[in-house]
């Protein structure tokens, strides 16, 4: 029998199967979700550490005590690395490292460090070790590495706890990270790194790289190693590369920049991770664990279910709202696809289309305010703007992105001859609000506090407090107004505290307390990959700033584009998509913003528009073939071909790809400028996005001919440029096609 709370046509069995498959897909597709599963003692240890981490950040946000920026970052990074080496296995899930694996890792690390020290003559001499010894040990390390390549094997055996090597990594990370906590003041006093500082820096960089490999993926590690190698040996590059060749930097200088300065690991990105990002991730965990997801599903059904193709439109609305509590495109797809994909398939939509729509809509959750992806908070810091302005700027583009998909779905439903979802299968709006409407309160609190100018940290803190307060009150109300409490009052022991506590613990109140504990643990778990990415990006930023590479590459992009804003934006798009193939959105945004945003600003693009452009495509890289991670997740849920789903999702969202180019030329879409310019830009962009969606479907009032479809594309692209003549041309083309279609329909009818 269908569950009363389930969407129409989705049975309990289907939903349970989908959730199991969602977990499997997340582990296979999303590196960030591939957690090691512990039992017994180690499960309790991990939970205790995660809960402690959440409580620490919550207490710091409350203002009970005020650690320095370095202390806060040091403790934050220590928690991140501890959880990484406990939660993420060293050689993949359910694999236990063999002796050869350990040999390989020791060989690689030792060889790498000794290679660096070999080129650092002064440092090696200060240790009293000759170059001959270095060569000998390095040769041994290479032999051991080759031994691994020929003989490595991993026994597929589930481990009940972390391996010895995990604990070694964990210990090294704790010592090297907390070194900043205990010795930073000493370093500030002497202002000169000593050998102990260098060793601690080398160890922490190695730990951060290994943590990144486990929790994020090897791509970001490789990119970081390339930048570090460029810092050491950039002076040996061919001369024809021009300004990219630098004078070279010593190990001491690079470690100082990466480990001991505010432009490296302990830089802006990690600082934002330790404050805004963590608190908003924790806020999302509280919303998720206390029932926000169920409310969003029911609310979306009420909003969009009564329209033609309502099952698919519910998916769009759900993904947009779910983005508030899930900052990952793949996570959003997994959370919403568990019920929207079966619902769309049962309604008559093709399986590939159903999966592709969830991927496209799920990706958009990262650009939907008020709570956007983690990189949006870093953007606010880069631009030195209040987050509320970022949130406001993202509003119109996000609405246009989902409008294009709404139009695409509506046309698809009309082509398939679909009708509205029967009203008796949709829970009335007032019933949903009466049962679950209190879930809106925490989100409303955050929006209100941001709008009146409070900091994101303040807003997130009181958002969590309001979530705790409202859910506790509702749970107590349900317990004390239920039939079970009436029975308890009639019993002889009704005034004894023990029966009352047992009653509350087994009722709604006990359930909500358990949900709070789960939220504290899940919030810390979900912050690990984002936080580690923010840390490792610091190594890239340190070399970029030290060598001036960002400025050099920016000038190269401008020269390659011949000073054209359009081609500079186009090259920036390509860079974002390429980086997005292997990097998480946050890392992709930080790197691209460092390299590509300055050239756009140099050419006269509004700084907010330039950074929003980079952020937008960093998010859309999750949907762009050939490596469309969000589409792969949706394909795994639906059992369809990943390539087919990837290209179908790209087609559905293609109209949305126009939007960033629109606000590059018309920043009024970001609420920059006067009211008239904002209204005009929004109007033309809306028409252009709708026209592009109709052209993608090859359907207006009736099927489009090939020339009509091409002209409709031209009209849509004309509306990108905020010039009077292009707007007139675009509107004229679109109006002409509309009139032509109407005339054809009237002629056909007559």
Question: What would the pLDDT profile of 352-382 be if each residue is shown by its tens digit?
Answer: 999 999 999 989 888 888 888 888 899 999 9
Residue 59: Cβ within 10 Å count:
11
**pLDDT beyond 50 at 565:** yes
- Mean pLDDT over residues 136-148, rounded? 45
Q: Assign 24 a pLDDT band (cuts: 50, 70, 90).
A: low
Q: What is the pLDDT of residue 305?
A: 79
Q: What is the pLDDT of residue 26?
A: 60
Q: Assign 92 a pLDDT band (cuts: 50, 70, 90).
A: low
Q: What is the pLDDT of residue 124?
A: 46
Please state, in angstroms and rounded to a whole number, the distance separating the CA atoms of residues 629 and 653. 15
Lowest mean pLDDT among 242-251, 407-416, 429-438, 657-666: 242-251
Lowest mean pLDDT among 104-113, 318-327, 534-543: 104-113
Whole-number Cα distances in Å, 658 to 357, 376, 496, 671, 717: 18, 20, 66, 18, 8
Question: What three-state secondary structure class fits 382?
Answer: helix
Whole-number Cα distances in Å, 111 to 114, 117, 450: 5, 10, 50
Share of the chain above pLDDT 90, in %: 30
Q: What is the pLDDT of residue 7?
A: 38
The 10 Å CB-count burial string (b at 16+, else e) for 509-535 is bbebeebbebbbbbbbbbbbbbbbbbb
Ramachandran quadrant class, 128 (left: phi over 0; alpha: psi -120 to 50; beta: rest): left
Q: What is the pLDDT of residues 605-646, one digit of tens each?
A: 999 999 999 999 998 888 888 778 888 888 888 888 888 998
**pLDDT beyond 60 at 97:** no
Residue 238: Cβ within 10 Å count:
8
**pLDDT beyond 50 at 149:** no
Lowest mean pLDDT among 16-20, 511-515, 696-700: 16-20
Q: What is the pLDDT of residue 493?
A: 59
Q: What is the pLDDT of residue 444?
A: 92
Lowest mean pLDDT among 106-110, 244-248, 428-432: 106-110
Please state, in angstroms and rounded to a whole number, the distance separating the CA atoms of residues 149 and 151. 6
pTM of the model: 0.84
Q: What is the pLDDT of residue 404?
A: 92
Lowest mean pLDDT among 24-38, 340-354, 604-618, 667-681: 24-38
The conformation of residue 281, written as its DSSP 8-state character, comes to: H
Q: What is the pLDDT of residues 442-464, one digit of tens each?
A: 999 999 999 898 999 999 999 99
Hey, what long-range contacts does 499-506 have (CB within 8 A, 24 or more apart)? 503/479, 504/476, 504/479
The secondary structure of 20-75 as a DSSP string is HHHHHHHHHH-GGG-PPPP-THHHHHHHHHHHHHHHHHHHHHHTS----HHHHHHH
Q: What is the pLDDT of residues 30-70, one digit of tens each?
A: 656 667 777 788 889 999 999 999 999 999 999 888 888 88
């Amino acid at each position: 029998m269908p569950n009363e709370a389930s969407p129409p046509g989705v049975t309990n069995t289907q939903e349970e199967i989908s959730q199991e498959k969602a977990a499997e897909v997340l582990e296979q597709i999303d590196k960030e979700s591939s957690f090691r599963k512990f039992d017994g003692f180690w499960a309790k240890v991990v939970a205790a550490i995660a809960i402690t981490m959440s409580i620490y950040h919550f207490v710091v946000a409350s203002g009970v005590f005020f650690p320095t920026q370095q202390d806060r970052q040091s403790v934050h990074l220590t928690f991140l690395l501890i959880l990484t080496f406990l939660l993420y296995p060293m050689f993949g899930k359910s694999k236990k490292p063999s002796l050869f694996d350990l040999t390989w890792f020791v060989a690689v690390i030792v060889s790498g460090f000794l290679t660096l020290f070999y080129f650092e003559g002064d440092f090696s001499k200060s240790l009293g070790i000759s170059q001959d010894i270095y060569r000998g040990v390095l040769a041994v390390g290479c032999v051991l590495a080759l031994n691994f390549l020929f003989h490595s094997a991993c026994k597929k055996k589930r481990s009940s706890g972390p391996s010895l090597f995990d604990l070694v990594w964990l210990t090294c990370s704790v010592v090297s990270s907390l070194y900043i906590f205990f010795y930073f003041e000493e370093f500030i006093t002497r202002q000169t790194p000593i050998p102990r500082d260098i060793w601690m820096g080398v160890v922490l960089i190695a730990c951060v790289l290994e943590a990144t490999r486990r929790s994020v993926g090897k791509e970001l590690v490789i990119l970081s190693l390339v930048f570090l190698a460029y810092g050491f040996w950039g002076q040996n590059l061919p001369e024809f590369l021009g300004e990219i060749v630098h004078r070279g930097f010593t190990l001491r200088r690079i470690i100082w920049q990466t480990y001991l300065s505010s432009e490296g690991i302990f830089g802006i990105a990690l600082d934002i991770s330790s404050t805004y990002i963590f608190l908003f991730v924790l806020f999302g965990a509280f919303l998720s664990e206390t029932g926000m997801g169920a409310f969003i599903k029911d609310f979306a059904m009420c909003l969009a279910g009564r329209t033609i193709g309502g099952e698919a439109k519910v998916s769009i609305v759900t993904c947009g709202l779910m983005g508030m509590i899930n900052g990952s495109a793949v996570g959003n797809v997994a959370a919403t696809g568990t019920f929207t994909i079966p619902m769309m398939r049962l309604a008559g939509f093709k399986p590939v289309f159903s999966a592709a729509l969830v991927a496209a809509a799920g990706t958009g959750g990262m650009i939907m305010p008020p709570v956007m992806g983690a990189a949006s908070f870093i953007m606010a810091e880069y631009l030195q703007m209040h987050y509320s302005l970022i949130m406001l700027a993202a509003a119109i583009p996000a609405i246009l992105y989902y409008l294009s998909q709404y139009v695409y779905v509506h046309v698809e439903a009309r082509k398939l001859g679909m009708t509205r979802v029967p009203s008796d299968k949709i829970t009335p709006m007032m019933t949903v609000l009466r049962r679950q409407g209190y879930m809106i309160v925490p989100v409303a609190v955050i929006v209100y506090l941001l709008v009146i100018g409070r900091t994101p940290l303040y807003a997130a803190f009181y958002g969590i407090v309001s979530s705790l307060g409202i859910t506790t009150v509702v749970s107590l109300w349900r317990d004390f107004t239920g039939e079970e409490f009436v029975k308890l009052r009639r019993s002889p022991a009704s005034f004894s505290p023990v029966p009352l506590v047992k009653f509350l613990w087994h009722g709604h109140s006990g359930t909500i307390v358990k949900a709070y504990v789960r939220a504290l643990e899940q919030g810390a778990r979900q912050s690990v990959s984002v936080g580690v990415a923010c840390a490792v990006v610091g190594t890239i930023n340190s070399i970029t700033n030290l060598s001036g590479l960002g400025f050099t590459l920016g000038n190269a992009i401008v020269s390659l584009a011949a000073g054209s804003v359009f081609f500079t934006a186009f090259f920036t798009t390509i860079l974002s998509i390429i980086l997005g193939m292997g990097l998480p959105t946050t890392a992709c945004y930080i790197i691209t913003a460092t390299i590509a945003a300055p050239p756009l600003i140099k050419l006269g693009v509004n700084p907010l528009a330039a950074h929003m452009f980079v952020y937008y495509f960093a998010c859309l890289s999750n949907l762009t073939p050939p490596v469309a991670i969000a589409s792969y997740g949706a394909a795994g849920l639906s059992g369809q071909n990943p390539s087919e789903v990837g290209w179908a999702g790209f087609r559905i969202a293609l109209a949305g790809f126009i939007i960033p180019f629109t606000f590059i030329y018309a920043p009024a879409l970001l609420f920059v400028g006067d009211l008239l310019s904002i209204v005009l830009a929004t109007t033309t962009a809306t028409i252009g996005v709708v026209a592009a969606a109709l052209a993608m479907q090859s359907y207006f009032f009736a099927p489009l001919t090939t020339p009509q479809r091409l002209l409709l594309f031209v009209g849509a692209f004309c509306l990108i440029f905020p010039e009077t003549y292009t707007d007139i041309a675009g509107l004229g083309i679109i109006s002409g096609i509309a009139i032509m279609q109407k005339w054809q329909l009237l002629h056909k009818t007559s």
